[in-house]
Structure 1
Amino acid sequence: MTDPRPRVTVLAGFSSAATAAAARVLLLADPALLLLAHDLSGVREGVVRRSVRDAARVLENAQTRLVHGCVSCTLREDVLPALVRLARERPGRDIVLALPSVVEPEALAAACAASTEVSEAVRFDSFVTVVEAATFLDDLSSIERLRDRGLHSSANDRRRVADVVSRQVEFADTLLVWDRPGNDAFAAGRVDSLLHRLAPWAVHVRVGSTPSINVTALAASLRHRGRHDPGVPGILARAMCGFPIGIHDPEGEYGVNAMLFRSRRPFHPERLHDALASVAGEALRGRGQAWIASQPDTVIGWESAGGGIVLGGLGRWLAALSEDRRHEASGLRRLAADVDWDPYYGDRQTVLSLVGLGLDVPRTTRLLTACLLDDGELSTGEEAWRHLPDPFAGLLAPATAESD
């Protein structure tokens, strides 16, 4: 049977200009399409401006005052209700949702997945991240925080520019690279190589390298593709659920390379703590899961970008749960654990993906390997591990996107 719910194409991207250009192309290609966009320039004062338009005219231009000014409040109090309302008031018209530059698409997807009202009103077709080729590498390698550029959404928004850019790319099922005519071929190849290693699961589309754009062809490459799979977990949970988290390509191309690091052995907490700055400094981006001997029950989410690194709790390993509680985990996670279960470690393992420019893969591998428990430490057993000196004690509570 035909699904009557409007299809939603989500446009994300750190370059507001490139995202807006992509939205204009989609409107030109389909006069019935609706564009929903939000201006967050006043969000820290609790004010958000919402606009709805099609190719011909502006249909809505309204201001909303939030209880608390932040990204999560904007999603909950305005973006989601607006999607539901448009689907009901203008049935049969698909929607393009253009996210503000500092909003991460995974946050939107999580909020929508938790809302029965949203899932009954609309269906998400694709999550497209628009990448402006000219500024991408500078943003990905930036050590600035959003606050340094006046882009922070709330007082406790400590995210780095590189954090947001990385997450926007990694969650996408489609990457639209917006280039400029006459751009250097090596620079274009480097951007493409970085994107492939950051999100090897995404479809890549490139435009803008010529003076004209085929509007119809571009729209056809982005819409009605059904690329979004709500069953695929977010980037930090991918390895736990059996999904690939990156590629191992030490040689690389255009100066871009990548590595995967896997280990069943846990990290020694002190040695890992001492090595974090070096590991974060080696790679443009690191992500994955880890475990440390002193906290053997906790799955640790690992993210590094912009020279900083964030470790946060992702819950408990299935091996640390009683048999009657393992059903609380998703079916995908239980299946992945069963397939790869270790008689001694259970589902505990470290899986890290690192992407860089000229990343020294042998050195980084040696550095991480030296942080693991050696044979003598391993032989003392789990109870002894719990008493190792632990610089991370009390610091691995689950992290939220805005407070990283």
Structure 2
Amino acid sequence: MTSPITAPGTTATQADTRPGVTVLTGFRPEPTAAVATALAAADPTMLVVSHDVSRLESGIVRRLVTTATDTIEDATVHLDHGCLACTVRDDVLPTLARLADNHPGRDIALVIPSTLEPSALAAACAYCHIDGRPVTELVRLDSVVAVIDAATFLDDLRSDDDLSHRGLAAADNDLRTVADVAARQVEYADTVLITGGDGDFETTRLSVLTRRLAPWAVHVADTANLRDTRRFDADTPEVFARGLEGYPIGVHDPSPDCGVSSLVFASRRPFHPGRLHALLGTIADHTLRGRGHLWLASQPDHAVAWESAGGGLSMGSLGHWLASLPDEDRDDVSPRRRLTADLEWDPYYGDRGIKLDFVGLDFDAVDLQRALTTCLLTDAELSTGEETWRTWHDPFAGCLDDPTDEPS
């Protein structure tokens, strides 16, 4: 039996009196707002916090704090910089802290803006201080609920639109796509709720799809089980780094269920850079979502993140493999990653390896497995060794460098 979650500085025997915050995230704001309304109706003491960021480019945000029957606050906030990060730091977190002080014992439903990813909010809560106190000392994130609009979610996940194309970019340099945000909101959530479905085949298929996207989440049918769940885990890593930290990255279920298939591809061998590069378009075009990490033979020092959605693909460095680090530098990575590496350590490869998960509709998982396998180094290529691999032509050269590396 686990101990109750306690605020920093308390003991396990002391009651946790921090207000619980239910974070509601969803790419379509209307269903998310409707869930907040239902929560408030079920508990007259609950406070609902939302922010209208339609004028964010001008540095103006409207904050609403309501209950089922009253408006507690309706304020216009002027920010020095018009971006979502500033909104979170300068108003969302101070509002949570103020409500915790002024309305003790009242839980909060926080409706975050549709393009704010819940992982960014959780990170801000973990590191920001309000009046010298950590936000997590004042409030407790209870759960992150992804609210799925049955009528639009699949279209959003398939979309190749950038947020800027829909006038939704969080800042001038916001290069995220609609599909990126829609997928990440579900994947980071510990609770998933589909709204607007009528029980037909499309709704059933969407349920299967979201369970493949977030097999680690609790999937609920209504708002009855969204309060006081203590499902939120502050240590949850970004989805593409889950495998490095020992978390599952997906469910291997290649047989279609309502047309939904999922493939977990794992290997201790590296990818050949040229053959993988030639396959990128095929993978991105035929699957709805891909996430995980890999290693390239031509860049054996760095773990590489893979994230694909809506036909787009991004790759980047996740830092060094532990096998490429001196022992004294390994303390800089998380204890969980060190433990995972120790458990999976290979005498030849160390902690290097590939763990990728792909989810899609009507794609042939067996064919994709075969295609990815052809990208792995052959026995003959493996035998030539790392020094030879580094000399191969690499289409990814210069694109995946670790930003923390010091120039030599």
Partner of 2:316: 312
Partner of 2:9: none
Q: Distance in 1 between matches of 2:57 and 2:272?
A: 41
Q: Distance in 1 between matches of 2:160 and 2:396?
A: 24
1:389 matched to 2:393: yes
1:149-298 alignment, distance < 5 Å:
149-180=166-197, 183=198, 185-207=200-222, 218-219=223-224, 221-298=225-302
Partner of 2:30: 17
Question: Which of 126, 141, 151 in structure 2 is aligned with 1:113?
Answer: 126
Partner of 2:406: none
CA contact (8 A) 2:265 2:369 kept: yes
Partner of 2:163: 146
Q: Secondary structure at the match of 1:201?
A: coil
Q: Secondary structure at the match of 1:103?
A: coil
Question: Which of 48, 70, 89 in structure 2 is aligned with 1:35?
Answer: 48
In structure 2, give the amino acid aligned to 1:386.
Answer: R
Unaligned segments of structure 2, at least 5 residues: 1-13, 404-408
Q: Secondary structure at the match of 2:306?
A: strand
Q: CA deviation at 1:18?
A: 0.2
1:44-59 alignment, distance < 5 Å:
44-59=57-72
Unaligned segments of structure 1, at least 5 residues: 208-217, 400-404
Q: CA deviation at 1:68?
A: 2.4
In structure 2, give the amino acid aligned to 1:21.
Answer: A
CA contact (8 A) 2:191 2:218 kept: yes
Q: Distance in 1 between matches of 2:380 and 2:56?
A: 54
So what's the TM-score if we normalise by structure 2? Answer: 0.92
Change (3 A) 1:302 1:248: same
Q: Distance in 2 between matches of 1:247 and 1:264?
A: 19
Q: CA deviation at 1:397?
A: 4.8
Q: Distance in 1 between matches of 2:342 and 2:227?
A: 37
Q: CA deviation at 1:24?
A: 0.1
Q: Secondary structure at the match of 1:372?
A: coil
In structure 2, give the amino acid aligned to 1:200.
Answer: P
Q: Secondary structure at the match of 2:151?
A: helix
Q: Distance in 1 between matches of 2:81 and 2:318?
A: 26
Q: Secondary structure at the match of 1:356?
A: strand
Q: Secondary structure at the match of 1:296?
A: strand
1:127 matched to 2:144: yes
CA contact (8 A) 2:302 2:402 kept: no
How many pairs were matched up? 386
Larger deviation: 287-296 or 144-153? 144-153
CA contact (8 A) 2:191 2:220 kept: yes
What is the RMSD computed on CA atoms of the aligned residues? Answer: 1.4
Q: Distance in 1 between matches of 2:402 and 2:57?
A: 24
Larger deviation: 93-102 or 362-371? 362-371
CA deviation string 1:360-380 (max 9, x = no partner): 112211221121222222111
So what's the TM-score if we normalise by structure 1? Answer: 0.92
Q: CA deviation at 1:184?
A: 5.5
Partner of 1:98: 111
Q: Secondary structure at the match of 1:266?
A: coil
Larger deviation: 18-27 or 184-193? 184-193
Q: Distance in 1 between matches of 2:278 and 2:355?
A: 19
Task: Flag the structure with more relative contact order, 1 or 2, with Cα contacts below 8 A and sequence separation at least 6.
Answer: 1
Question: Which of 16, 41, 62 in structure 2 is aligned with 1:3?
Answer: 16
Q: Secondary structure at the match of 1:110?
A: helix
1:80 matched to 2:80: no
CA contact (8 A) 1:281 1:307 kept: yes
CA contact (8 A) 2:316 2:399 kept: yes
Runs (4 or more) in structure 1 with deviation over 3 Å come to none
CA deviation string 1:18-40 (max 9, x = no partner): 00000000110111111111111
Partner of 1:64: 77
